């Protein structure tokens, strides 16, 4: 069964708003067993909305349309649908009462434009929206059309609670596509594909497929499997999953679309009863932040020091002024001192550090933009620093430094390829 997605809003086209709805809907519909054939992003233009919906309904069994249902003059979707189906409007009393109750609770005046949100095309089945003021609408006209608010959490609520049950009711068991995510670090996409995994096409049967999703932080492997049930789809992925672990196990730090390297490191620290602290210069607290993004991180993360200025490195972390004067802040010596110093200062077993030239300015011929030193210290264990040469983009350099240092920490804790560390080959 084919489905199409239409996202409506000038703000999506000019870049004011990132279209997260389309990606969420694509994943959600695929999981229900639909083939998403096309995603359209169009402006708040009455004729264009009418034309796009009409064409999509002719080409696909299901069309999901989001955006343009607000109370202002530029919200044209409802009018476009009414004109397309050549119908008038009806008042949905349940929606009106709900909207009024929200405004009363918030002590906000109720206006004529708010009243109009409870009016829907005569041929619409109202999808009651408990998450907002604009109701969703369901239409049957040869194919099926769901018109939903553009606010992400409202759209997601209506898709899960209203639209998905209707799709299952209409189409029955249309199959299930299951996506499984394996997260890797310390290896580039081409190396992972060609040298580590090699040809895996022999495992691509029963709807099984594999995609490589690279980012500055690593490569995510997305495994897709299909079946009549979720359990069958998962079962069809077992052989491919097993061979990936056999070939790339040392690069894999976890599973799940949103699983992070900081979660992986935190789990290892907790299992070993260790605590960590971080001294950051060029990353400016990014690594501390990613640790504290994880609930329960206080079990293993004691804190961090953003030693951006040299005098802070000296006073707070114990860096030698002589080292700063002789080799500079971006150096092996300083990275080593920062890692050991923050561990001693905060009383943790492990200390890690970053010092570098994030850019876009500040580089020299000897130390160009993108030069970063990362330090690692473990009480009664390893103590080393690693040099990396990244890009000229400041934010990418910060992200890569964070990812590399956490991956180094993970490998030390796992006993995998600690030193020497072929950083250029694995992270360039």
Model confidence, pTM: 0.74
DSSP, collapsed to helix, strand or coil, labels residue 91 as strand
CA 285 – CA 225 distance, rounded (Å): 39
Domain 176-255, CATH: 3.30.70.2860
Q: How far is CA 68 from the centre of its chain?
A: 25
16: Cβ contacts below 8 Å, ≥ 6 apart: none
Nearest to 412 by CA among 297, 264, 290: 264
pLDDT of residue 420: 39
Closest CA to 278 of 252, 316, 315: 316
- Paired tokens of 161: 């609670």
Q: Is 3.40.980.10 the CATH number for 2-171?
A: yes
Can you give the residue ranges of every domain in the chain? 2-171, 176-255, 261-427
For 231-237, the CB contacts below 8 A with 24+ separation are: 232/176, 233/176, 233/177, 233/178, 233/207, 234/178, 234/180, 236/206, 236/207, 236/208, 237/178, 237/180, 237/208
Q: Kindly report the backbone phi and psi dihedral angles of residue 233, in degrees, each rounded to the nearest multiple of 5, phi listed first.
A: -65, -40
Strands 276-280 and 301-306: parallel
Cβ proximity of 68 and 13 under 8 Å: no
pLDDT given at position 32: 84
CB proximity list for 47: less than 8 A, separation 6 or greater = none
- Residue 383, strand partner residues: 377
Task: Give the Cα separation of 3 and 22 in Å (integer).
Answer: 12
- pLDDT for 268 equals 98
Q: What is the CA radius of gyration of the chain?
A: 27
Look at phi and psi of residue 123 and say left if phi exceeds 0, alpha if psi is from -120 to 50, else beta.
alpha
- Which tokens belong to 15? 């870049």
| Rounded Cα distance, 193 and 281, in Å | 34
As a 3-state breakdown, the chain gives helix, strand, coil percent values, each rounded to 5, of 45, 25, 30
DSSP state of 107: T
Of 288, 297, 287, residue with least CA distance to 263: 297
CATH code for the domain defined by 261-427 = 3.90.950.20
One digit per residue, pLDDT tens: the chain, 428 residues? 899 999 999 999 999 999 999 999 998 998 888 889 999 999 999 999 999 999 999 999 999 999 999 877 778 999 999 999 999 999 999 999 998 998 888 888 887 777 888 999 999 999 999 988 899 999 999 999 999 999 999 999 999 999 999 998 998 867 777 889 999 998 889 999 999 999 999 999 878 999 999 987 789 999 988 888 888 889 999 999 999 999 999 999 999 989 999 999 999 999 999 999 999 999 999 999 999 999 999 999 999 999 999 999 999 999 999 999 999 999 999 999 999 999 999 999 999 999 999 999 999 999 999 999 999 999 989 999 999 999 999 999 999 999 999 999 999 999 886 443 445 433 32
Q: What's the count of helices (H) and strands (E) in the chain, helices before strands? A: 18, 17
- Relative to beta strand 125-127, strand 136-141 is antiparallel
Which pLDDT does position 417 carry in this prediction?
66
DSSP 3-state assignment of 410? helix
Question: What is the Cα–Cα distance from 79 to 422, expressed in whole angstroms?
Answer: 61
């Amino acid at each position: 069964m084919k489905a199409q997605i239409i996202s409506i809003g000038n703000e999506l086209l000019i870049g004011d708003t990132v279209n997260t709805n389309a990606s969420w809907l694509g994943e959600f519909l695929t999981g229900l067993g639909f083939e998403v054939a096309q995603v359209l992003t169009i402006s708040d233009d009455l004729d264009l909305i009418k034309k796009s919906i009409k064409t999509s309904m002719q080409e696909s069994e299901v069309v999901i349309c989001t955006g343009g249902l607000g109370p202002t003059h530029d919200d044209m979707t409802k009018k476009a649908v009414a004109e397309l189906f050549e119908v008038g409007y009806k008042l949905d009393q349940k929606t009106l009462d709900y909207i009024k109750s929200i405004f009363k609770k918030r002590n906000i005046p109720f206006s004529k434009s708010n009243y109009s949100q409870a009016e829907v095309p005569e041929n619409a089945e109202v999808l009651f929206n408990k998450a907002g003021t604009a109701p969703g609408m369901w239409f049957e006209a040869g194919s099926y059309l769901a018109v939903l608010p553009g606010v992400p959490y409202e759209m997601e609520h209506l898709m899960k609670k209203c639209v998905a049950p209707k799709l299952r009711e209409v189409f029955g068991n249309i199959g299930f596509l299951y996506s499984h995510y394996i997260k890797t670090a310390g290896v580039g996409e081409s190396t992972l594909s060609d040298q580590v995994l090699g040809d895996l096409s022999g495992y691509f049967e029963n709807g099984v497929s594999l995609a490589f999703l690279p980012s500055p932080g690593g490569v995510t492997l997305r495994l897709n499997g299909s079946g009549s049930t979720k359990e069958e789809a998962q079962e069809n992925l077992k052989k491919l999953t097993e061979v990936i672990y056999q070939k790339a196990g040392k690069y894999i730090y976890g599973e799940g679309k949103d699983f992070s390297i900081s979660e992986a490191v935190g789990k290892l620290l907790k299992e070993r009863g260790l605590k960590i602290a971080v001294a950051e210069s060029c990353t400016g607290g990014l690594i501390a932040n990613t640790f504290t993004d994880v609930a329960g991180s206080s079990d293993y993360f004691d804190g961090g020091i953003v030693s951006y200025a040299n005098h802070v490195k000296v006073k707070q972390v114990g860096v030698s002024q002589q080292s700063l004067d002789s080799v500079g802040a971006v150096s092996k010596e300083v990275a080593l001192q920062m890692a050991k110093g923050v561990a001693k200062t905060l009383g943790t077993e492990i200390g890690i550090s970053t010092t570098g030239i994030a850019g876009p300015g500040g580089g020299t011929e000897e130390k160009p933009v993108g030069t970063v030193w990362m330090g690692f210290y473990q009480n009664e264990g390893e103590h080393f620093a690693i040099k990396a040469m990244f890009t000229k983009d400041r934010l990418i350099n910060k992200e890569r430094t964070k990812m590399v240092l956490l991956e180094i920490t993970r490998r030390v804790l796992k006993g995998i390829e600690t030193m020497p560390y072929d950083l250029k080959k694995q992270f360039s």
